[in-house]
Amino acid sequence: MAEVGVTLEVGSDGVAVIIICNPPVNALAIPVLNGLKDKFREAIRRNDVKAIVLTGKGGKFCGGFDINVFQIVQGTGDLSVLPDVSVELVNNTIEDCQKPVVAAIEGLALGGGLELAMGCHARIAAPKTQLGLPELSLGVMPGFGGTQRLPRLLGLSKSIEMMMSSKPILSEEGKKLGLIDEIVPREELIRTSRLWALDIAEMRKPWLRSLHRTEKIGSLSEAREILNNARKNAPKMPQHHACLDVIEEGITNGGLSGVLREAKVFKELVVSDTSKGLVHVFFAQRMTSKVPKVTDVGLKPRPIKKVAIIGGGLMGSGIATAFILSNTRVVLKEINSELLLRGTKMIEANVTGLVARKKLTQDKASKALQLLKGVIDYAEFKDVDMVIEAVIEKVPLKQSIFGELEKICPPHCILASNTSTIDLNIIGEKTSSQDRIAGAHFFSPAHIMPLLEIVRTEKTSAQVILDLMTVGKIINKVPVVVGNCTGFAVNRTFFPYTQGAHILANLGVDVFRVDRVISAFGLPMGPFQLQDLAGYGVAVAVGKEFANAFPDRTFKSPLVDLLIKDGRNGKNNGRGYYTYKKGGKPQPDLSVLPIIQECQKITKLMPDGKPISITDQEILEMILFPVVNEACRVLDEGVVVRASDLDIASVLGMSFPSHRGGIVFWADSVGVNHIYKSLKKWSEAYGSFYKPSKYLEERSNLGLALSAPASSSSGVKSRL
Ligand SMILES: C[C@H](O)CC(=O)SCCNC(=O)CCNC(=O)[C@H](O)C(C)(C)COP(=O)(O)OP(=O)(O)OC[C@H]1O[C@@H](n2cnc3c(N)ncnc32)[C@H](O)[C@@H]1OP(=O)(O)O
């Protein structure tokens, strides 16, 4: 393993090259920052050094401050762990250095990495280098002067856009905008940077200090107008607004004042709940690619060059789109040419939709479509590496397809099903290929939604899981490996979500208020609007599956049947809990209220026939605590490898707000004991739907967090 630290080499030209080394992304861990301070001091002190070049080892400049340190601070609350980098290193040592400093940037300069580079007197970059300040996506803001220097180098509008979106730009764009001084091939990066530094030292090139520049800021009134517009459009998250305020401080009172305010607010944000949630999600997402006995046993992923998709419906065409967009050849099979045409048209529409939204160039779209071949027989299947079956959810049909596939496909071929409910053991029951059968559960629209649940049975081989994980990453998904059960991880955990909402409706709580409470919590929409969007057919079909699988905890509400009887089918026909008009926002449809009242009369859940009185917080808890309860069963049964995998699955599959860290992380922050006691109370009042699971009860009794590992004797203590 390469050594973590900073090196200094002085050449015969009098240029000191300071190199950051902390693989894989040269993150600024505390020893690295101390090393930088030491090496800069040495370079400044030495008489044989005329100029300095700062660079990173191994083809990457720097991925920013070490995010592990955030977790340490968040765990201990000890802010003194955070070193003073902004003033001591970037401002006083680099920018105010008496010797010119040039950043030689390759690969990426993100967050604190770009901030170090902006403190230098010039920036030379290799082609296609990523440059960005993604701190807001971690719930903090740039803390090494980035809020002040980026606007001074790029202008206010573009720099605000980069910070608010957390998205990087490439060095080519950076050059056009003034962030980068020169782009050179990577082999010439260090040589050009050395010469540039000497040119500054010998006054052949200007000696520019970013924080002192004003030419791109414009007048105070212009700046305020830009900032106020940005405030209107920014997400309603604390870090976004704090960042805009800090930018304004620097514009009103000068760059140094902005730097000082930035350092203060940065420390407040690091310990915020938002940052705790987002930092957890950052690491949790990366943990999903570590699966014991799959990724740690020396297996190598096999190449997947040709994929067959069976079924060109909504899911099949979305899955096919995801593959062709990632440069993989796809055979789409349907049972007749009419259905095949419908499937290929859907794929074309998916691709052209991305072009229209400027997410794809026309050239790439045309190339992707050339990789698609439609078929109505199995002739093309003889050399496929993977098949994904995406036909309707009928067991005999799936069984016969897998029986055929086993005979036609090569022996190495992975046989996957996109089923969202059916037991994979049953699907593969009539084959002798159970070791290569797995679930590849995509979420709709499959070419857009980022989650891929990879479902394994006890017979699926580790190689097949590894191949699916690899191919998932190739098609830009986050693969999460899960066990085989009704609904797998996401749908299983969230099946009580809609049912909890229906209990509230039957208790007399206004459905539109329920939706408002859930949206305010951070989900994109409430459960009733979601039901409208999915269509009531889905609600009925999925409801049956879960009622069969988990009859002890299913609340059967006749509401959807009554809505269907009234001619409603949600967004599909423009009539649901809401009305839908093209181009407009959904409007609450008050004519639904008598139907809900009719339902209440049937279920007789309201105590004394009167609506219950309830706070917004209780609404939220009566909907989400049953979800947490099911998450407990998922953890108990080992459906996911670790609790944080369920966090990622909930964020990416259900759009659970990422700043709350995912369903389990959120539950632990609320307090296990409170959740247990609340569910117990409601189960006594409203029945077994709320009955606390054994896992929850045990964790509550032991004072252990839900996320604490099963074997944990000391465990992570939950907030009781
Ligand atoms: C004061 C300052 O303003 C504050 C800051 O600088 S905050 C940090 C700002 N920087 C960032 O947000 C960048 C975060 N990193 C990333 O976006 C991506 O990791 C990347 C684009 C750099 C590389 O992506 P990719 O090649 O897909 O590799 P990825 O798997 O994500 O990362 C490789 C490893 O580096 C780690 N890593 C990446 N950036 C890191 C960071 N800044 N700190 C600590 N670890 C980091 C990852 O956790 C992962 O570790 P693992 O192998 O043990 O799981």
- When pLDDT is cut at 50, 70 and 90, the band that residue 709 belongs to is confident
**Mean pLDDT in residue range 540-562:** 89
pLDDT tens for 111-168 read 999 999 999 999 999 999 999 999 999 999 999 999 999 999 999 999 999 999 999 9
**Mean pLDDT in residue range 497-502:** 96
% of the chain at pLDDT higher than 70: 98
- When pLDDT is cut at 50, 70 and 90, the band that residue 715 belongs to is very low
CB of 143 shorter than 6 A to ligand 1: yes
- Alpha carbon 108 to its chain centroid, in Å, reads 20
DSSP 140-175: S---SSHHHHHHHHH-HHHHHHHHHH---EEHHHHH
Dist. CA 309 → ligand 1 center (Å):
34
Structure tokens at 269: 């944000």
Q: Which amino acid is at 242?
A: A
pLDDT at residue 546 is higher than 80: yes
Q: Is 202 a catalytic residue?
A: no
Residue 136 near residue 163, CB atoms below 8 Å: yes
Q: For each of the domains in the chain, give its residue range(s) and CATH number, in order of start.
A: 5-271 (3.90.226.10), 306-484 (3.40.50.720), 490-702 (1.10.1040.50)
- When pLDDT is cut at 50, 70 and 90, the band that residue 499 belongs to is very high
- Specify the pLDDT at position 452: 98
**Mean pLDDT in residue range 448-477:** 97
CB of 111 shorter than 6 A to ligand 1: yes
- When pLDDT is cut at 50, 70 and 90, the band that residue 542 belongs to is confident
Which atom of ligand 1 is nearest the CA belonging to 134? 12
pLDDT tens for 323-345 read 999 999 999 999 999 999 999 99
Which atom of ligand 1 is nearest the CA belonging to 282? 48
- Specify the pLDDT at position 2: 60
CA 142 → CA 33, 220, 279, 313, 340, distances in Å?
16, 22, 15, 45, 51
- Specify the pLDDT at position 82: 94
pLDDT tens for 679-700 read 999 999 999 999 999 999 999 9
* The model's pTM: 0.95
d(CA 705, CA 684): 24
**Mean pLDDT in residue range 577-588:** 91
pLDDT tens for 60-72 read 999 999 999 999 9
Q: Name the closest-CA residue to atom 22, ligand 1.
A: 63
d(CA 538, CA 560): 11
Residue 372 near residue 330, CB atoms below 8 Å: yes
Average pLDDT, the chain: 95
Which atom of ligand 1 is nearest the CA belonging to 266? 1
% of the chain at pLDDT higher than 90: 93
Question: Which of 26, 61, 67 has most ligand 1 atoms within 8 Å of its beta carbon, as the pocket-test mutant?
Answer: 67
- When pLDDT is cut at 50, 70 and 90, the band that residue 458 belongs to is very high
How many separate helices (H) and strands (E) can be counted in the chain?
A: 28, 19
- The predicted complex's ipTM stands at 0.99
Q: Which one is catalytic: 115, 406, 621, 630?
A: 115
Classified as helix, coil or strand, 626 is helix
| Residue bearing the bigger pLDDT, 122 or 540 | 122
pLDDT at residue 717 is higher than 60: no
Q: Is 348 a catalytic residue?
A: no
CB of 269 shorter than 6 A to ligand 1: no
Residue 66 near residue 29, CB atoms below 8 Å: yes
Structure tokens at 322: 């995801």
Give me Rg for the CA atoms of the chain: 28
148: number of Cβ within 10 Å: 29
CB of 180 shorter than 6 A to ligand 1: no
pLDDT tens for 512-529 read 999 999 999 999 999 999
DSSP H/E element including 387: strand 386-389
d(CA 326, CA 318): 13
Which atom of ligand 1 is nearest the CA belonging to 133? 9
pLDDT at residue 74 is higher than 50: yes
- Specify the pLDDT at position 422: 85
Dist. CA 8 → ligand 1 center (Å):
24
pLDDT at residue 711 is higher than 70: no
By the 10 Å C-beta count (0-12 exposed, 13-18 middle, 19+ buried), 444 is classed as middle
- Specify the pLDDT at position 393: 86
